[in-house]
Structure 1
Amino acid sequence: MDTVSGDGDDMVLTPPSKALWAAELPRAAWTVATWWRHRPALAAAPRGDGRTVMIVPGLFNTDRSTAVMRGYLNRIGYRTSGWGLGRNRGVRTVGVEAERLIARVESLAAAGPVTLIGVSLGGIMARLVAHRRPDLVRAVITVSSPYAGSPKATNVWRAFEWLTGERLDDPAVVLRSDAIAGPLPVPSTAIWSRSDGLVNGLICHDAAGHAVEVRSGHLGVQLKPEVLIAVAKTLAG
């Protein structure tokens, strides 16, 4: 897999290869078809402590895309919620500073800070909330979220611009992205894969937080049993 070009100070992270990109749909289908095999391992994961967890979906997805993860975490002992904001179209949905998402987190935090789990773009948004309102956030878990490098090291940056109406070279967007990538004021874990076909896995984690590498594509990553178990272990850690 080609993830970088150049060497030394000239090293530039690149998007995943066309082969990995083409393999995304077959890999997602395989995950669904073989999910049943992993039930014993899923059942053996650490039990939850009843805390409130919100899961933020990825680009152009809704809470339906995280139903399996939410159901699993509910079964092992967490109070899990979707984000309740409909389809994720970036700032068009949550506001430039994630105002609508922050309001949603605030409504869930009456009994204490909320743990945020974000898938892809949802993880970037979760990090923004944690930077803006750390008093509301207990911890952040990102899943295949390309927050730690150039968005152009992905195969979806044009789709992002089209769906959100934001241009990645807009100085305001660059400034916000740099702030999101900064060390969080709450504990963080980044779940990532070097075989991701849509985003370069190397921009999905950093040295400031804990990182867990998995073997997964991007589409349906939130359904992957290995990812669900990694999330359960992180929550129990």
Structure 2
Amino acid sequence: MAQPAPSPSAAKQNPKQDLHDGPPPNAWLLALELRAFWEAGALLPAWPVLARAPRGDGHSVVVFPGLSANDGSTIPLRRYLDSLGYQTSGWEQGFNFGPRAGVLETARTGVRRAFESSGRKVSLIGWSLGGVYARELAKELPQMVRGVITLGTPFAGSHRSTNAWRIYELASGRKVEREVENYDLPVAPPMPTTSIYSRSDGIVAWQGSIQKPSPLNPQTENVEVIASHVGLGLNPSAWWAVADRLARGEGSWQPFERKGTFLHGLIYPDPARAA
């Protein structure tokens, strides 16, 4: 999980400011990534509840896959959002091996196409590395983007706080340190932005997915779920949170409602509790 190459419109501040520089998840959490199969299996019994999520208003949603994944990995989530009334699309670039030549320009074109075809602002969803694309593209194209949702994206962490940075460098042929120099990744896009994360993530240290409050954009939030990293895009509680966030109309953003009941407290732990 690393960051895309610099763009002319990216704000160059201090890319290392406020980065979490702790260790990556331990071997036990990494082994627990195998529970992703259970999370996918939980979708069927959870479907009666998921089907009751707020309906969409038909606007376009572009979903970016994680490192070494392709649009096939996001089909279940996109089909779910289609069933709620959204017009979804993938990034349509095959496997995500990092921001190689032409990748970011093609991604920008996809966002523009979705915006122009509908005449309405587009929501961007990114899983892991895909969330970095979503956030940075939203900063470049604020007039076209309605909101951003990321799933286990390490925008606020050093590359060494993940268990995937070597895979990224091997797949992309790029050095992570050079990638991050031209971005201030912890800064959120200037529109509603939700980071969905898990403290039991076995790939990304959860602290690297935490958005700090900013007076420049008060419409940012962190939503904690109980999930693996690999299973975040297939996790029923993550799906509900995504649907809830997308259903907020332009100009009517409110923080995610955990509802405070015992059950909801188990499904959505308080992200403000002590580490």
Task: Mark the CA change 1:34 to 1:174 in structure 2 (over 3 Å): closer, same or farther.
Answer: closer
Is 1:100 the counterpart of 2:72 in the alignment?
A: no
Distance 2:210 2:102 in 1: 23
In structure 2, list runs of 5 or more residues that go unmatched: 1-17, 214-219, 249-275
> What amino acid maps onto 1:108 in structure 2?
A
Task: Mark the CA change 1:93 to 1:71 in structure 2 (over 3 Å): closer, same or farther.
Answer: farther
Q: 2:124 touches 2:147 (CA, 8 Å); kept in 1? A: yes
Q: What is the aligned partner in structure 1 of residue 25 from structure 2?
A: 16
In structure 1, list runs of 5 or more residues that go unmatched: 1-8
Q: 2:21 touches 2:158 (CA, 8 Å); kept in 1? A: no
Q: What is the aligned partner in structure 2 of residue 53 from structure 1?
A: 61
Distance 1:143 1:88 in 2: 15
**Relative to structure 2, which stretch is displaced further, 178-187 or 157-166?**
178-187
Q: What is the aligned partner in structure 1 of residue 224 from structure 2?
A: 213
Q: What is the aligned partner in structure 2 of residue 226 from structure 1?
A: 237
Q: Which has the higher helix share?
A: 1
Equivalences, count: 222
Q: 1:85 touches 1:93 (CA, 8 Å); kept in 2? A: no
Q: 2:135 touches 2:188 (CA, 8 Å); kept in 1? A: no
* Percentage identity across paired residues of the two chains: 41
Task: Mark the CA change 1:72 to 1:104 in structure 2 (over 3 Å): closer, same or farther.
Answer: same
Task: State the shift of 1:85 in Å.
Answer: 1.4
Residue 174 of structure 1, aligned match among 180, 198, 207? 180
Helix, strand or coil: the match of 1:13? coil
Q: 1:131 touches 1:180 (CA, 8 Å); kept in 2? A: no
Q: What is the aligned partner in structure 1 of residue 78 from structure 2?
A: 70
TM-score, length-scaled by structure 2: 0.77
Helix, strand or coil: the match of 2:159? coil
Task: State the shift of 1:44 in Å.
Answer: 1.4
Task: State the shift of 1:94 in Å.
Answer: 4.8
Q: What is the aligned partner in structure 2 of residue 202 from structure 1?
A: 207
Q: 2:21 touches 2:160 (CA, 8 Å); kept in 1? A: no
TM-score, length-scaled by structure 1: 0.89
Q: 1:189 touches 1:211 (CA, 8 Å); kept in 2? A: yes
Distance 2:61 2:101 in 1: 20
Provide Cα deviations, 1:101-135, integer angstroms capped at 9, x if missing partner. 10111111111221000000000011110111211
Distance 1:114 1:94 in 2: 21
Q: 2:126 touches 2:132 (CA, 8 Å); kept in 1? A: yes
Provide the aligned C-alpha RMSD in A: 1.6
